[in-house]
């Protein structure tokens, strides 16, 4: 079996970058859910409209990475986001933090659909309009505030997000009537 045969049935992965701490204005490109290597995954890919990086957190993360000590030493390296960059919000529904994923995704979806209801108001057919081929949220503008927080055991830093819908997509506005 050659390499082509091995990759022929493989999944194509997105090339998004995790979002940094700071305030970001983002345009929804795509929402998707799929079965990944370790279980179910929810991903939203955004195009950066504007962004500021938390420079203090960025500098501290770099210092700890270089020293190999501190909660940032086990975290992803930040990159600054520029307009036009693609960033990703990823939640895995598996592993030791699987219980957190449902709450985090529900918080995001509530922010996205707030003018029209809540995540609890969406049935399977409505949800499919967001994560399926129709991509109802494509073009929506979201404000995201990313804040670093240490894990419970203090071993690493993770970025938590606060979301706000600034402008619904055209499809969302049309569906709301």
- Local mean pLDDT, 10-residue blocks, the chain (177 residues): 47 59 92 85 93 74 75 62 88 82 90 88 89 93 89 79 93 78
pLDDT score of 137: 95
What pLDDT sits at residue 24? 92
Q: Is the pTM of this model over 0.95?
A: no
In this structure, how many other beta carbons lie within 10 angstroms of the beta carbon of residue 112? 24
Query: Which pLDDT score is estimated for 175?
Result: 78
Burial class (CB in 10 A: 0-12, 13-18, 19+), 116: middle
Distance CA 29, CA 131 (A): 11
Question: 162 near 145, Cβ under 8 Å?
Answer: yes
Structure confidence at residue 109 (pLDDT): 93
pLDDT of amino acid 108: 93
Which DSSP symbol is given to 2? Answer: -
Mean pLDDT of the chain: 81
């Amino acid at each position: 079996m050659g390499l082509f045969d091995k990759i022929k049935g493989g999944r194509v992965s997105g090339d998004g970058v995790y979002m940094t701490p700071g305030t970001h204005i983002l345009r929804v490109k795509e929402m998707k859910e799929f079965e990944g290597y370790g279980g179910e995954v929810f991903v939203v890919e955004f195009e950066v409209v504007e962004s500021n990086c938390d420079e203090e957190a960025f500098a501290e993360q770099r210092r700890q990475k270089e020293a190999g000590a501190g909660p940032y030493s086990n975290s992803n390296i930040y990159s600054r986001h520029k307009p036009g960059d693609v960033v990703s919000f990823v939640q895995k529904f598996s592993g030791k933090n699987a219980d957190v994923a449902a709450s985090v995704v529900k918080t995001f979806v509530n922010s996205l659909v707030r003018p029209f209801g809540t995540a609890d108001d969406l049935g399977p057919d409505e949800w499919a309009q967001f994560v399926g081929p129709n991509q109802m949220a494509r073009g929506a503008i979201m404000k995201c505030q990313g804040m670093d927080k240490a894990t419970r055991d203090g071993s690493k830093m993770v970025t938590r997000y606060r979301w706000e819908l600034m402008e619904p997509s055209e499809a969302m506005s049309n569906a709301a009537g």
